[in-house]
Amino acid sequence: MSAYHPLTLDEAIQIAQEIPNLFDEQSNLQVREIGDGNLNLVFHITDSNSSKSIILKQALPYAKVVGESWPLSLDRARIESEALILAYQLCPTLVPTVYRYDSELAMTIMEDLSDHIIMRKGLIEGNRYPLFAEHISDFLARTLFFTSDLGQNQQAKKESVKQFINPDLCKITEDLIFADPYVDAETNNFNAAIRDAVEALWADQPLHLEVALLRMKFLTSAQALLHGDLHTGSIFVTEQSTKVIDPEFAYYGPMGFDIGAVLANLALNYIGQEHWSRSEEARASYREYLIDTLRDTWSQFDTKFRALWNEHAVDPLAKVPGYQDLYMQQLLQDSIGFAGCKIIRRTIGLAHVADIDTISDDRVRERAERLALTVGRALILQHRQVTSFDAFIDTLEQATKGVQVS
Amino acid sequence: MSAYHPLTLDEAIQIAQEIPNLFDEQSNLQVREIGDGNLNLVFHITDSNSSKSIILKQALPYAKVVGESWPLSLDRARIESEALILAYQLCPTLVPTVYRYDSELAMTIMEDLSDHIIMRKGLIEGNRYPLFAEHISDFLARTLFFTSDLGQNQQAKKESVKQFINPDLCKITEDLIFADPYVDAETNNFNAAIRDAVEALWADQPLHLEVALLRMKFLTSAQALLHGDLHTGSIFVTEQSTKVIDPEFAYYGPMGFDIGAVLANLALNYIGQEHWSRSEEARASYREYLIDTLRDTWSQFDTKFRALWNEHAVDPLAKVPGYQDLYMQQLLQDSIGFAGCKIIRRTIGLAHVADIDTISDDRVRERAERLALTVGRALILQHRQVTSFDAFIDTLEQATKGVQVS
């Protein structure tokens, strides 16, 4: 198979069959295309004899995100594959194994995670993942530390920056997170019932100033190799396992953008619990679980990142007294600011989250959306003054109390 | 001529002769090698008939900076040539014209500036350059603005970042400016008479913290395409003309690093005036000229950068109220911090400046060196609190008064 073309089901099977040491000659491969057809083809290929299975993911040369298709470089398949391989080296248990990457076909063949569930779905179903905070804090601390100037040779890091220049996918983020939600842009997508709150946001100049600062940080701060899209739809979980997938937005950016994505998506589920159809106690208990997960994610990240720093820092000035504390405070502030931006974009921007969009009662959904805007805005406005992660929890809990009163 | 080898004088003439529309058939080319042999061969080629002349600069695969030779990628010749061409597009009167670049030979042929003088030499001779502040503020404002995310398309900027990844030359800066001067490193080079002050610097942890922050900014902030080594030895001047040369350290970094380099080198000359052999009045007058030049450089840069922003900003959030002021204040703070680092490295690090090193009276030279350390340290320590450029001038003048008392 040579030049790029979208694969057929038969071609996908043929390619899978040719991978050494995976399927044997007696295999009987079955294939299904399970992608949503927006950005990628995703083939699920199973051997009905051995029940071994794999995923073959092929990038499409466009994204169907804004009505018409949006041309996208196939280079993102290389970036995704190389970022996965790098994450595998740093956190082998926390990402799928890559079996093969083909640059011409823009195709990656990797471990099948069908025994896992997309975390967003799991949270919406009310499941708990007791090891998630431990796992995701490991993932964040190790991938961010070891790809930064703190944890890797500074000259090698520059070559890595070059390897992960990712203009097309960064543009999606720059537009959809850091620009469009703050003006009356065509890409915006919001419930007509909250138009008053959205218009208030469009007129909110102090908020725009903070977003401008966060946007500039996203554009210029080459701190570490980010996943770049680390929401709960990019994470597969079971009670015992966490697997981060889909790093096609990977690029060198500010660490707080990845941390903030995790925080924001847990907070969005917390906010979505407005719809909880079970008892009030069950809702309170689930929200407590989410708060604990938020707290543990930050505090374990903080502890682990500091430990890596103390043990593995390669920067000659890394051990200067006071530097680590200042650095961690800056990371906290960035994470909270970026979390706020992500909460807002998921409420009024192009792409929403099912945690809120699937609330069937219109009035409850509206309440959740207003709550999300309140929380997102408050996080962004305060981010440069934050000195403790409590600020994040307090903002979420206080805003929720305020809205619930109504 | 094919694969890379250091050119002979005859080869240099032959290459010059072959450039279209430069020398005619009746030309009688003379060549001299005028480089210092450290990093590059520099051939000065003149036609004795027409008195046309050019410079042919060829990169050497090593730098003779630390006793033994330090291997360096020839890719820096490409970077220098491409940075010059880009600067020429933005400021055609402020850089030499490039006639030809040959990647295999790592060679750039450019306009000869023999009618100019190296600015450092001019300042040491006590000359005044009344247009320098106007010219250099133009150069800084236009090159920094139009290569940043404020002034160019953000996706094109990412390709430009990739084009100017420059690990070898950045390493020189990272080591010699942001690490070695603060420890007892072999590369350091200082007057034994000031060892007490140097040891105090090595033990100064609050200073090291600020240097660590500036170092991290140098490593991670891809704000604009920098010249990367913008001292007064990289600037040719006459009373009417200013030409910036030698951008082989070019890479995407924090704007304040280039601005700070100009400020630091004017300040180093001011400090070096301790040796002034003419009248006290003449010294005071020259220092006043330098202070005026410093003030004009910053204030004209500030005015011009804001004007470019107001007229040409492409960032969708650029016009948010308050953003420009915050941005300019951050630039000021960065510039002052980086200026401090450069003053210190030129006093106790590997590479000094003639403005101070050529002071023949040992006691006067020692006084100037101590003054430089005092000024550099004070600039670094205060940089994050600075709100006006007066802080720079005050620091320089107050420290000078303090030292002169002795």
Inspect the interface and report whether the beta carbons of B220 and A216 lie closer than 8 Å: no
Q: What is the pLDDT of residues A213-271, one digit of tens each?
A: 999 999 999 999 999 999 999 999 999 999 999 999 999 999 999 999 999 999 999 99
pLDDT of A37 over the 70 cut: no
Q: Give the per-residue pLDDT at A406.
A: 37
Burial A294-329 (b: 16+ CB within 10 A, else e): bebbbebbbebbbebbeeebebbbbebeebbeebee
**Per-residue confidence (pLDDT) for residue A61, from 0 to 100:** 87
CA of B17: how far to CAs of A21, A86, B36, B98, in Å?
62, 51, 24, 16
Which of A216, A220, A317 lies closest to B179 in CB terms? A317
Q: ipTM of the assembly? A: 0.94
> Quick check: B222 and A223 CB within 8 A?
no
**Interchain proximity A183–B326, CB inside 8 Å:** no
Percent of chain A beyond pLDDT 90? Answer: 86
**How many A×B Cβ pairs under 8 Å?**
113
Confidence (pLDDT) at A405: 39
* pLDDT, mean of residues B3-25: 91
Contacts 24+ apart (CB under 8 A), B192-199: B193/B362, B193/B366, B193/B369, B194/B348, B194/B366, B194/B369, B194/B370, B194/B373, B197/B369, B197/B370, B197/B373, B198/B348, B198/B373
Torsion of CA A109, A110, A116, A122, to 10 degrees: -70
**Does A274 belong to an annotated binding site?**
no
Render the burial of B181-217: b for 16+ CB within 10 Å, e for the rest: bbeebeebbbbeebeebbeebeebeebbbbbbbbbbb
Instruction: Measure CB to CB from residue A320 to each of B162, B209, B220 and give the nearest one.
Output: B209
Written as one letter, the residue type at A27 is S
Per the annotation, binding residues of B are 40, 57, 111-113, 229, 246-248, 345
Give which of B205, B219, B252 to mutate to test A binding, by max A Cβ within 10 Å.
B219
Render pLDDT for A130-163 as a digit per residue (tens, 0 to 9): 999 999 999 999 999 999 999 999 999 999 999 9
| pLDDT beyond 90 at A204 | yes
Q: Which domains does chain A have, with CATH numbers?
A: 9-111 (3.30.200.20), 117-405 (3.90.1200.10)
B165:A149 CB<8 A? no
Quick: pLDDT tens for B43-99: 999 999 888 999 999 998 887 655 456 778 889 999 999 999 999 999 999 999 999
User: In A, what residues contact B, Cβ < 8 A?
Assistant: 149, 154-159, 161-162, 165-168, 170-171, 174, 178-179, 182-183, 205-206, 208-209, 211-213, 215-216, 219-223, 315-318, 320-323, 326-327
Buried b (16+ CB within 10 A) or exposed e, B381-391: bbbeebeebeb
Identity of the residue in B212, B321, B327 whose CB atom sits nearest the CB atom of A317? B212
8 A C-beta contact, residue B355 and residue B272: yes
Chain A hits for B249, CB-CB cut-off 8 Å, are none
Q: What's the rounded Cα separation, in Å, for the pair B104 and A383?
A: 50
Spatial distance between the Cα atoms of A97 and A53, rounded to a whole number of angstroms: 12
Burial of residue A266 (CB within 10 Å: 0-12, 13-18, 19+) is buried
Q: Work out the pLDDT band at A403, boundaries 50, 70, 90.
A: low
Query: Quick count: other Cβ atoms within 10 Å of Cβ B333?
Result: 18
d(CA A183, CA B298): 35
CB distance B167–A183 less than 8 Å? no
Q: How far apart are CA B109 and CA B124, in angstroms?
A: 29
Dump pLDDT digits (tens) for B99-153: 999 999 999 999 999 999 999 999 999 999 999 999 999 999 999 999 999 999 9
